[in-house]
Structure 1
Amino acid sequence: MLSQDIVDKLTHQEILTDELLDEELAQFCQIANLAYRAGKPIISDQDYDFIYLAALKDRDPNNLLLKSIEPEGWSFSEEKVLLPKEMLSIDKAYSWGEISKWIERLKKSAMQIGLGLSDIQIKATPKLDGFAGFDDGNRLYTRGDGKKGSDISRVFERGLCVFNDAKRGLGAGEIVIKKSYFEKYLAHSFEYPRNFQASLIKEKALSEQAQKAIIDKAALFFPFVQLPIWSGSTAEMVAKFDQIVAQVLVMVDFDVDGVVFEVINADLKTQMGANRKFHRWQIAFKENKDKAHVKVLSVTPQVGRSGKITPVVELEPTLLSGATIVRATGHHYGLVKEQGLGVGSVVELTRSGLVIPKIISVLKPMPVDIPDNCPSCSKLLVWESDFLTCINRKNCPAQIVGKMAYFFKILANNDGFGIVTIKKLYAYDIRSVSQIYALNIEHLVTMGFGEKTSMNLINQLNRSVSEQVEDWRFLAAFGVHRMGLGNCENLLKFHYLNDIFNLNLEQIANIDGFAELTAQIIVQGLIPIADEFNRLYRYGFNLETTLLTKNLQTLAHELFDKRIVFTGKMSYSRNDMKKHAKSIGIKVSITISAKIDYLVIGDKVGQKKIQDAEKFGVAVMTEADYLSKI
């Protein structure tokens, strides 16, 4: 884990994100997120989105933190329970360019189902900055990990009302405090509304201030279905985007940290679906328009796990959006060379965009200093397209350490093997993950680890071998270029794990989603990891094998290749039922539309689902009927 000193320096922006390895950046994002959700933020929500999370998204788009729901932030004493409905996060866009790409994805999906582009309908709502929950009418749950949360029904028992005195059971929403009320009565006692919202939820008795806010109906549960909306076509959204954003941001008297755009068309929502973290038919727009003209003091090269050299730009300290900015990334040396980004340059700096702080443009070019040697291993650097790269991949310390740390991070079933531990192992000539697995307690003690720490590390290694992990996650942990979690999972739907090193370019390119260039990069990238893969594979990792698509096609049951939706309380975990259904060739959706074949119902089914099934002519079957058919 990160030391408190590093956390403090990041909190005050005394360290640039580019000075961190991906593992360290992800750890700080987790720490900041936990603090935020506990009602004790260490950085502003704006800084979290526009500096740290955005940097992680740009540097390591397949990081697990970006692919799953963020943890809640504190431990509830209540046991985690399955949510009545999965609560996913919302993908974020920080520029019009990202919104444009999202609209293009909408249009592409619409064409696939024969929906006219002029028929695509969009709605925009304020993105509430409260505490997310789900109200099923009987209980109120925290969002948890999106699948399981904690029962915090005590909030309603304490007198909390639903916005506009609406009935209970309206589903997902947020616990919020009126902005005008907070500023008048609570701002002197609480630094952020988030601090106050947290006090409403925790198990301890309510303060007089909290009780009064509930009685005054200033603290409320605001169901998303009650949010005011703007709606229109994609053409209207494009033509009036800035106007729409400005209008929606002031629609409610609550803290808002963006605008949520989502598709209205049910068929299109079904077609677009969701990934592990968010619905593809929905996106939140956040923007920071503050800019400044800043002088460059120096440009320093840093090397990452892949060998690419990143120019870190030291700036004259500049106050921007409430923070003092002293560093920014130059992205790559091709850009440094092209724009004349050198000592004495004047740049336009912002804190909006994909990587924040971000240099928008160089206003005053100066001579640039392009390094000849790697800052980690001193070997000569080479140009690969726009990137200055260290190709000493087998012996460059920064790359070796980064790759080993990446393996444990992606495997995600162990603790203790962060960047600090890996650097210490490197100092004792450990150069590969397989060497780490060959260690014992005596080895670690000799290297300077305490006996208890050594024992814990060995236990974690054993845990990572025995605890089941998906075969595609194991493969992704080797860090082959273009082989993130998604591509690895897709690849193993068509070929067994043990066979992938024998695949040729054509076999990979024939898989849907793999272009020829990607297939070529993968074939070349697998060669150097083959020996290390075999060494680790012999440890007998408990790998969950992905079921091949061709094997699915041999399954003989009448629901094979049918589209179904599960709803209501089932005898088994609904998530387990979904997972099993997919494993036997059933296509599982979450929204009723004309493309759905069956609605499978359990107990306590909402009438809307039944009505939607009738509307679209979807056959309804009980859980017992479903189980008998499979």
Structure 2
Amino acid sequence: MVTKLSEDQVNAINIAGIDIDKGRAQELLELLEDDTELWAFSIEDLETTIQIANATYRAGVPVMSDAKYDAVCIKELESRAPGSEFLNSVEPEPLVDSKVVDLPERMLSTEKAYSYDEVANWVKRLLKAAEEIDLEPTNLDIRVTPKLDGYAAYDDGERLYTRGDGRKGQDITRAFDRGLNVANQGLRGQGAGEIVIQKSYFDEFLSDHFENARNIQASIIAEKKIDERIQKAIDEKACVFFPFKLLDSWVGNYQEFLADFDNIVEKMWNAVDFEVDGIIAEATDRSLKDYMGATRKNHRWQIAYKINAEIAKVFVKEVVPQTSRAGKLTPVALLEPTKLSGATISRVTVHHYGMVKSKGIGAGALVELVRSGLVIPKIESVIRAVDPEIPTYCPSCGSHVLWDGDNLICPNKTDCPAQAENTMIHFFKTLGNVDGFGPKVIEKIYQSGIKSIHDIYMLDVEKLVDMGFGEKTSQNLITQLNASKSIEIEDWRFLAAFGAPRLGEGSSEKLLKKHSITDIFDLTIDDLVAIDGFANITAECICEGLEKIRNEFESLYRLGFNIKNSQAQLASGELILDGELVVFTGSMEYGRRSDMEAEAKLLGAKVGKGVTSKTTMLVAGKNVGEKKIAAATENNVSVLSEVEYLKKIGKEESL
């Protein structure tokens, strides 16, 4: 049975104005679990289900996978009602409390293909159209880019719009006001693109708090106050607006495109650190594009190739816990071996034990498993739930585990092998100036009785040989340890290596620009909150984490590492922007805007994103929107050009 509709999903359905009650919506989704029940769907039912899927997807709380949406809902409607309005128009993307405005240019959906043959037929249509306008086949080039799985938007340099119905969208410029950057240090005003978040960042910092990236993309553009963790991701440029024009691409003749299709797809699929659900192929010749034009829904000169996502119903054999470096118990579902997208899948990671408990994932549960091409498989839904077995003890050390929100945590930070080993591995990996101390070496050292990083630095060749390492390997390891102390390393990298919660490299750098590394253990929560970007929850977590690493840190620090101090060396008289609230806008010529903002903070200023009555200075680069200039005039804010600003802070040499 499908998981019951959540309150957020019901709200998304209501906000979209879909005329259906909760009970009937639940019934349709339950019927959809079994493909053989599609006969029970009327055309109206299929269209309503598509509306529900779109509304919840846009709200970040999807009721079904992309695979099920494409393979079941859309394919079924295409076969039974090819003339349906839902197949021939762009599905609206309504947002609450957002003004509807005309789009600068039409934003259409993309025709989808799921096989090489379908793509080859599309190329035939291009060739036919090229012949009709006397375009030589040798001049028929194809551009291929990754198909980002984000939130479609359009940036004209002044405003950011949702795609809406393709003709009218909604104003979500507030995303840029919140600090959203253009990817690859790009400029504003480059047209259509996607709001996306880096996969690596999501996995490391946000996956414990949000079930999928869609939740975050929806929050970035929502009217309501943004979650501080998402704001931090924006500030650290992990969330960006990625214009299609700036995407990595492959460009070549259509014959080469067809001949090397699989390799091109694989290359583009792995070209970016963002969620990708296919590739986009399009003709490059402007005259051909103009001639072919578009339907009400798609450009005829463009196609999206999506590797058919395979869906399988699989029985769970067992759910086993694995303890992470931070002490979190991650549930891993062991499955009946199942072939999906050319690979045999026998295990899959579940989000957290809160999900195991709420969805009933355990031995004997029947789940829907989805794998699309190169994407890691995941449990999309639970068809038949069971009463799951929730662990009460850490599998690594046997300590009694505790609930922390949706997560089970092992509190034994000092003597839990999994935490200790992973902490050591993290230290050497983050330090970055020492080789040889990978997982296998660390495991062997730990099993020989070494419990801390400091103890590793106390080793000598003889002790390593006694542990079973060869003479030459032992000598190399000691050489690496000594070198890591003498090679200069940034203080923020050294601090981040200890793996304290909320003190990754970015946060450590921010902290150590304000305070010396020798003073951080005496800081209060109020001291941390005073640093831009550190809210109360973050500050409390950092204080607690620092206390836990204090002994290990001080032991290592006394060994005499060559640490470079990144704290600002500005005397109070040099804080020439003290008391200023500065807003930077437009594209800068002499430096990146993010660097200028960071420098302004070091000079004593506070940096804002939008012009208000409290703003004292607006620094305007190129392509500045009239809205901010008008706001500055209205609030009597001083407007400086980039050159005037650099002169003000004594940086004439940069001009």
Please state which band the TM-score falls in when normalised by the shorter chain.
0.5 to 0.7
Opposite residue 491 of structure 1, the aligned amino acid is L
Change (3 A) 1:107 1:432: closer
Per the alignment, residue 430 of structure 1 pairs with 450
Deviation of residue 520 (structure 1)? Answer: 2.1
Change (3 A) 1:251 1:310: farther
Change (3 A) 1:555 1:390: same
Correspondent of 1:477 among 497, 508, 511: 497
Deviation of residue 123 (structure 1)? Answer: 8.8
Correspondent of 2:563 among 535, 543, 551: 543
State the alpha-carbon separation in 1 of the partners of residues 522 and 645 from structure 2: 46
Q: Provide, for residues 303-354 of structure 1, a one-character-per-residue CA deviation record: whole Å limited to 9, x for no partner.
A: 111222111101223333443322112222232222221111111223479x
Query: Which structure has the larger Rg?
Result: 2
Opposite residue 389 of structure 1, the aligned amino acid is I
- Do the aligned residues in 2 keep the contact of 1:559 with 1:586 (CA within 8 Å)? yes
Residue 498 in structure 1 maps to residue 642 in structure 2: no
Give the secondary-structure state (helix, strand or coil) at the position aligned to 1:359.
Answer: strand
Per the alignment, residue 618 of structure 1 pairs with 641
Per the alignment, residue 292 of structure 1 pairs with 312
Change (3 A) 1:46 1:420: farther
Residue 61 in structure 1 maps to residue 79 in structure 2: no
State the alpha-carbon separation in 2 of the partners of residues 456 and 48 from structure 1: 45
Matches within 5 A, 1:170-319: 174-178=249-253, 180-182=254-256, 184-186=258-260, 191-192=263-264, 247=298, 252=302, 290-319=310-339
Per the alignment, residue 337 of structure 1 pairs with 357
Per the alignment, residue 220 of structure 2 pairs with 102
Give the secondary-structure state (helix, strand or coil) at the position aligned to 1:363.
Answer: strand
Deviation of residue 457 (structure 1)? Answer: 1.9
State the alpha-carbon separation in 1 of the partners of residues 441 and 462 from structure 2: 16
Q: Provide, for residues 441-486 of structure 1, a one-character-per-residue CA deviation record: whole Å limited to 9, x for no partner.
A: 3322332222332232223222322222221221121111222222
Per the alignment, residue 449 of structure 1 pairs with 469
Residue 554 in structure 1 maps to residue 573 in structure 2: yes
Correspondent of 1:385 among 385, 405, 413: 405
- Do the aligned residues in 1 keep the contact of 2:338 with 2:344 (CA within 8 Å)? yes
**Identical pairs, percent:** 37
State the alpha-carbon separation in 2 of the partners of residues 193 and 370 from structure 1: 41
- Do the aligned residues in 1 keep the contact of 2:578 with 2:605 (CA within 8 Å)? no
Count of matched residue positions in the alignment of Structure 1 and Structure 2: 412
Q: Structure 2: which 5+ runs fail to align?
A: 1-145, 151-196, 232-240, 271-280, 627-638
State the alpha-carbon separation in 2 of the partners of residues 181 and 400 from structure 1: 55
State the alpha-carbon separation in 1 of the partners of residues 352 and 392 from structure 2: 14
Q: Provide, for residues 491-532 of structure 1, a one-character-per-residue CA deviation record: whole Å limited to 9, x for no partner.
A: 223322111111222222333322223222222222222111
- Do the aligned residues in 2 keep the contact of 1:176 with 1:221 (CA within 8 Å)? no
- Do the aligned residues in 1 keep the contact of 2:283 with 2:302 (CA within 8 Å)? no
Opposite residue 493 of structure 1, the aligned amino acid is K
- Do the aligned residues in 1 keep the contact of 2:327 with 2:409 (CA within 8 Å)? yes
Deviation of residue 221 (structure 1)? Answer: 13
- Across the aligned residues of Structure 1 and Structure 2, the Cα RMSD in angstroms comes to 5.4
Opposite residue 426 of structure 1, the aligned amino acid is Y
- Do the aligned residues in 2 keep the contact of 1:303 with 1:376 (CA within 8 Å)? yes
Normalised to the residue count of structure 1, the TM-score between the two structures is 0.53
Change (3 A) 1:288 1:421: farther
- Do the aligned residues in 2 keep the contact of 1:175 with 1:222 (CA within 8 Å)? no
Q: Answer 1 or 2: higher relative contact order, Cα 8 Å, separation at least 6.
A: 1
State the alpha-carbon separation in 1 of the partners of residues 492 and 222 from structure 2: 29
- Do the aligned residues in 2 keep the contact of 1:465 with 1:541 (CA within 8 Å)? yes
State the alpha-carbon separation in 2 of the partners of residues 220 and 462 from structure 1: 55
Q: Provide, for residues 179-217 of structure 1, a one-character-per-residue CA deviation record: whole Å limited to 9, x for no partner.
A: x42354445xx844668999xxxxxxxxxxxxxxxxxxx
Q: Provide, for residues 214-258 of structure 1, a one-character-per-residue CA deviation record: whole Å limited to 9, x for no partner.
A: xxxxx99989x99x99xxxxxxxxxxxxx99x848x7547x878x
Per the alignment, residue 164 of structure 1 pairs with none
Per the alignment, residue 346 of structure 1 pairs with 366
Per the alignment, residue 244 of structure 2 pairs with 125
Give the secondary-structure state (helix, strand or coil) at the position aligned to 2:345.
Answer: strand
Correspondent of 1:508 among 521, 528, 534: 528
Opposite residue 497 of structure 2, the aligned amino acid is A
Give the secondary-structure state (helix, strand or coil) at the position aligned to 1:457.
Answer: helix
State the alpha-carbon separation in 1 of the partners of residues 421 and 398 from structure 2: 16
- Do the aligned residues in 1 keep the contact of 2:365 with 2:386 (CA within 8 Å)? yes
State the alpha-carbon separation in 1 of the partners of residues 500 and 269 from structure 2: 43
Opposite residue 181 of structure 1, the aligned amino acid is Q
State the alpha-carbon separation in 2 of the partners of residues 372 and 451 from structure 1: 43
Per the alignment, residue 266 of structure 1 pairs with none
- Do the aligned residues in 1 keep the contact of 2:491 with 2:563 (CA within 8 Å)? yes
Deviation of residue 107 (structure 1)? Answer: 9.6
Deviation of residue 440 (structure 1)? Answer: 2.3
Deviation of residue 596 (structure 1)? Answer: 6.7
Per the alignment, residue 484 of structure 2 pairs with 464
- Do the aligned residues in 1 keep the contact of 2:577 with 2:603 (CA within 8 Å)? no
Change (3 A) 1:544 1:222: farther
Opposite residue 513 of structure 1, the aligned amino acid is G
Q: Provide, for residues 528-548 of structure 1, a one-character-per-residue CA deviation record: whole Å limited to 9, x for no partner.
A: 221111111112222222224
Q: Structure 1: which 5+ runs fail to align?
A: 1-44, 64-92, 113-121, 133-173, 199-218, 230-242, 258-286, 600-607
Q: Provide, for residues 31-90 of structure 1, a one-character-per-residue CA deviation record: whole Å limited to 9, x for no partner.
A: xxxxxxxxxxxxxx99999xxx98854542399xxxxxxxxxxxxxxxxxxxxxxxxxxx
Deviation of residue 397 (structure 1)? Answer: 0.8
Q: Provide, for residues 391-447 of structure 1, a one-character-per-residue CA deviation record: whole Å limited to 9, x for no partner.
A: 222111111101111111222222211111111111221111111112223322332
Residue 585 in structure 1 maps to residue 603 in structure 2: yes
Residue 411 in structure 1 maps to residue 431 in structure 2: yes
Per the alignment, residue 517 of structure 1 pairs with 537
Give the secondary-structure state (helix, strand or coil) at the position aligned to 1:554.
Answer: helix
State the alpha-carbon separation in 1 of the partners of residues 222 and 337 from structure 2: 39
- Do the aligned residues in 1 keep the contact of 2:489 with 2:562 (CA within 8 Å)? yes
Give the secondary-structure state (helix, strand or coil) at the position aligned to 1:341.
Answer: coil
Give the secondary-structure state (helix, strand or coil) at the position aligned to 2:205.
Answer: coil
Correspondent of 2:388 among 368, 373, 377: 368
